[in-house]
């Protein structure tokens, strides 16, 4: 089924439409993000939420919808939702209730989902996203609401074509989800991705969700349409909800694709938001296209009504204050801290902060300890992150404690170790879980006294007359060759000192 053509493609209007440029149109994007809350047990029963267990092993009479079983709210899920809401600057409801969303599906055991219809736990809020360029402005994306609901199970269909039975795994049924809905404030695909990255980072920082997309702990639908300047008018194209977005990249690419598709469809048929219902389209990662799933007319009437098995939740000011008082600094606060108090470039601050709370804490301890935030940033932002990435470790698993790292950097700052030797020491510390002192001992690093240095330089000059001549004839850079050779002859020789001495010897 594809869009019907109202106007013949060769009509004068269509010719006018063809004159409009895509780049002049504006993309309007709103996101609906489902985040799985990091609770031990499900939203309405005591079953575990652990991922990857044997199918249907984490179920009970409540989450399988047995006759007579009743839901009981998990207080922890409420607390995490409030924490998330506060971090997204949302108004927290003082009274919230549960509603049933009725529809039939085999992996929905009760025939309804317990959700929140008209009194979500979190009301309007906003999230600021970092400018994409250093000179740019931060963008404020308004959040319409965030509500709690239970997840459905998983259907596993036979795709072999042999018409075998479908299977259902109810382990996921009843796990708590927070659905966060933005206003249509996002204007580019990159901005959508930036919003999601920042959201994920915040929820990680406040321990609300790990937002692991592979495990389905963060799922996203995007509502997209175009505003196209056309003559004196501004045309809005029909709104499309894109589903099946399994990665940030898919979000970005699908929006880019969908915008282009809508533009071409409009050029073709001239349909506007007033002419066509909202469509649901699925993103296909293989073809990198969206395909029509259903139009709004076919969509179900969910017959929401208050769930009579649950009582309304009253949230006291004191409870909100308590949760608020426990909230630690958010990524944006920490970026500001690193930039303003620690004099990092904003890009560098972003790199550190994007690694999560653990890396920030590590950085702060080292920077404070060695009293040189630039060096701390250089070493942590490059060496440590590279090592963590290569070993696929978290900062908590990193074998070098912040205190040991501080000790190492103090030696570098004092000139006891040069950069290269310092890195050798760090590698040894990581490899053998040892202190800088032990690593220095193991690597045989010891200071070189002045007479040794003089002997070394004389030998270099003796053996490399051709290089010396180059230097004397004005090629200053050639001295690097000699320094390299000096390091091979004695790894402990400080390149700076070697360079200075050579320069002095050659010029005299």
Q: Give me the residues that bind other proteins (CB under 8 A), please.
A: 61, 64-73, 100, 102, 104, 106, 109-112, 168, 301, 303-305, 308-311
Considering beta carbons, is residue 53 or 118 the nearer one to other proteins? 118
Considering beta carbons, is residue 70 or 500 the nearer one to other proteins? 70
**Distance in angstroms (rounded) separating the CA atoms of residues 405 and 401:** 6
**Distance in angstroms (rounded) separating the CA atoms of residues 463 and 457:** 10
Give whole-number Cα distances, 284 to 2, 292, 373, in Å: 17, 11, 46
Beta carbons of 290 and 242 less than 8 angstroms apart: yes
Closest approach of other proteins to the CB of residue 307, in Å: 8
Q: Which residue's entry shows tokens 């108090």?
A: 341
Considering beta carbons, is residue 171 or 373 the nearer one to other proteins? 171
Closest approach of other proteins to the CB of residue 55, in Å: 14
Considering beta carbons, is residue 72 or 433 the nearer one to other proteins? 72
Closest approach of other proteins to the CB of residue 147, in Å: 18
Sign of dihedral through CA atoms 355, 359, 361, 366? negative
DSSP secondary structure letters along 84-109: HHHHTTPPBPSEE--EEEE---TT-T
Q: Where are the alpha helices (DSSP H) in 21-155?
A: 75-87
For every residue of 207-264, which 3-state class applies, written as one string? CCCCCCCCCCCEEEEEEEEEEEEECCEEEECCCEEEEEECCHHHHHHHHHHHHHHHHH
Which residues does residue 100 pair with via DSSP β-bridges, in sequence order?
Answer: 114, 305
Closest approach of other proteins to the CB of residue 314, in Å: 13
Closest approach of other proteins to the CB of residue 119, in Å: 15
Beta carbons of 34 and 203 less than 8 angstroms apart: no
Closest approach of other proteins to the CB of residue 44, in Å: 9
Considering beta carbons, is residue 22 or 305 the nearer one to other proteins? 305
Residue 501, Cβ neighbours under 10 Å: how many? Answer: 20
Closest approach of other proteins to the CB of residue 150, in Å: 14
Considering beta carbons, is residue 169 or 198 the nearer one to other proteins? 169
How would you class 52 by CB atoms within 10 Å of its CB: exposed for 0-12, middle for 13-18, buried for 19 or more?
Answer: exposed
Token pair belonging to 475: 């090629």
Which residues does residue 28 pair with via DSSP β-bridges, in sequence order?
Answer: 225
**Distance in angstroms (rounded) separating the CA atoms of residues 354 and 364:** 14
Considering beta carbons, is residue 72 or 431 the nearer one to other proteins? 72
**Distance in angstroms (rounded) separating the CA atoms of residues 151 and 135:** 42
Closest approach of other proteins to the CB of residue 72, in Å: 5
Closest approach of other proteins to the CB of residue 166, in Å: 8
Considering beta carbons, is residue 5 or 311 the nearer one to other proteins? 311
Considering beta carbons, is residue 47 or 439 the nearer one to other proteins? 47
Considering beta carbons, is residue 64 or 378 the nearer one to other proteins? 64
Closest approach of other proteins to the CB of residue 170, in Å: 9
Beta carbons of 35 and 211 less than 8 angstroms apart: yes
């Amino acid at each position: 089924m594809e869009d019907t053509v109202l106007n013949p493609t060769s009509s004068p209007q269509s010719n006018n439409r063809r004159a409009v440029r895509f780049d002049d149109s504006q993309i309007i994007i709103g996101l609906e993000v489902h985040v799985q809350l990091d609770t031990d047990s499900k939203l309405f029963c005591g079953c575990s939420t652990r991922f990857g267990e044997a199918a249907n092993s984490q179920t009970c009479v409540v989450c399988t919808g047995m006759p007579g079983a009743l839901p009981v709210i998990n207080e922890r899920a409420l607390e995490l939702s409030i924490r998330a809401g506060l971090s997204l600057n949302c108004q927290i409801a003082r009274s919230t209730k549960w509603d049933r969303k009725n529809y039939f599906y085999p992996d929905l055991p009760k025939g309804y989902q317990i959700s929140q219809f008209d009194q979500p736990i979190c009301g309007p809020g906003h999230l600021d996203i970092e400018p994409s360029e250093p000179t740019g402005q931060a963008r404020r994306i308004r959040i319409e609401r965030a509500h709690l609901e239970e997840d459905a199970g998983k259907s596993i269909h036979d795709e072999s074509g042999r018409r075998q039975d479908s299977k259902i795994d109810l382990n996921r049924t009843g796990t708590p989800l927070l659905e966060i809905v933005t206003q249509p404030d996002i204007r580019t695909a990159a901005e959508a991705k930036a919003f999601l990255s920042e959201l994920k980072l915040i929820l990680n920082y406040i321990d609300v969700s790990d937002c692991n997309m592979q495990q389905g702990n963060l799922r996203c639908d995007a509502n997209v349409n175009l505003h196209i300047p056309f003559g004196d008018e501004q045309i809005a194209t029909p709104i499309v909800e894109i589903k099946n977005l399994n990665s940030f990249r898919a979000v970005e690419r699908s929006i880019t694709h969908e915008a282009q598709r809508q533009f071409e469809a409009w050029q073709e048929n001239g349909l506007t938001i007033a002419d066509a219902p909202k469509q649901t389209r699925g993103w296909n990662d293989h073809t990198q296209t969206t395909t029509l799933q259903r139009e709004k007319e076919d969509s179900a009437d969910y017959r929401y009504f208050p769930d009579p098995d649950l009582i309304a939740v009253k949230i006291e000011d004191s409870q909100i204050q308590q949760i608020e008082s426990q909230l630690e600094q958010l990524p944006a606060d920490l970026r500001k801290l690193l930039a303003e108090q620690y004099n990092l470039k904003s890009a560098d601050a972003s790199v550190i902060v994007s690694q999560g709370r653990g890396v920030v804490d590590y950085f702060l301890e080292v920077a404070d300890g060695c009293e040189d935030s630039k060096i701390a940033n250089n070493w942590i932002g490059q060496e440590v992150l590279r090592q963590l990435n290569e070993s696929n470790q978290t900062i908590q698993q990193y074998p070098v404690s912040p205190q040991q790292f501080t000790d190492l950097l103090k030696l570098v700052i004092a000139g006891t170790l040069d950069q290269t030797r310092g890195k050798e020491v760090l590698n040894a510390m990581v490899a053998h879980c040892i202190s800088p002192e032990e690593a220095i001992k193991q690597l045989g690093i010891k200071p070189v006294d002045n007479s040794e240095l003089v002997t070394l330089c004389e030998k270099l000059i003796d053996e490399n007359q051709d290089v010396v001549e180059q230097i004397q004839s004005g090629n200053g850079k050639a001295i690097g060759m000699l320094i390299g050779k000096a390091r091979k002859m004695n790894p402990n020789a400080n390149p700076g000192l070697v360079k200075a001495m050579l320069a002095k010897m050659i010029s005299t």
